[in-house]
Amino acid sequence: MSAALTARERMLGRLRAAKPGSPEAVDTIDAAIDSHYQARRAQAPQSPRQQMAAMQAALRAAHADVDCVSSDAWPTLLAQRLGAHGVRRLLMNSASVEGQALLAALPAGVETLSFGRPLAQWKSELFDTVDAGFTVARSGIAASGTLVIAPDAATPRTVSLAPPLHICLVYASTLHADLHAAARAERWADGMPANLVLVSGPSKTSDIQQTLAYGAHGPRWLWVLIIDDLSALEGGQP
């Protein structure tokens, strides 16, 4: 007992003797973080088109299906893929620009639903009968193939979580090299959305035997349409 007390007293004595250091200013820490990431990006600079290719590769590595498609061709392509996949009920925001474009291309066999009711009123219908959910990403992170989604009243988190197939559209012009670049460019520090969602692949998990399974806690499939809108930024060059 005495030995334990002695060790305890020695430990407390060292803690009491230690002088607290002066905390670094937040601006100093921010500058160091900025410098670190800028140095990393300088070692492997990426053009917007290289970021688009990196985004596609990272998503495919995470078991997502990805298409790079033009701004005018994606609705037809997606409508064809939905038909081939057997989608009959699609949850989406039909009032958005992208929703209107997709709505015009969908075949008669695909029914669209909006999230216009409280979840409690149609929970069973949503989980049992809806085949896919369609969202539009706020931006993307090329290094990790991450979709940055900001849910709202018309497209809440449930749209990208409940249906077995999540379809997400992201514009190439909104891609960032890494998470730090995204946070800086979009000024998250000035007012980060309360419900920002980062998606980097379909839902997956593994048991203690490390058997990988998809769809256990969310969508089993993730389709991503990367919209190539870079030509306007490049002065019309392909």
For 186-222, the pLDDT digits (tens) are 988 888 777 889 999 888 887 776 777 888 788 999 9
pTM of the entire predicted model: 0.83
The band of 3, judged by pLDDT with boundaries at 50, 70 and 90, is: low
Q: Once rounded to an integer, what is the mean pLDDT over residues 150-161?
A: 93
Q: Calculate the CA 224 to chain-centre distance.
A: 10
CA pair distance 36, 178, nearest whole angstrom: 12
Lowest mean pLDDT among 18-32, 94-108, 125-139: 18-32
Asked whether residue 238 carries a pLDDT value surpassing 60, the answer given is no
CA pair distance 138, 146, nearest whole angstrom: 11
pLDDT of residue 4: 57
pLDDT of residue 13: 82
Lowest mean pLDDT among 10-19, 90-99, 110-119, 167-176: 10-19
CA pair distance 227, 170, nearest whole angstrom: 6
Asked whether residue 184 carries a pLDDT value surpassing 70, the answer given is yes
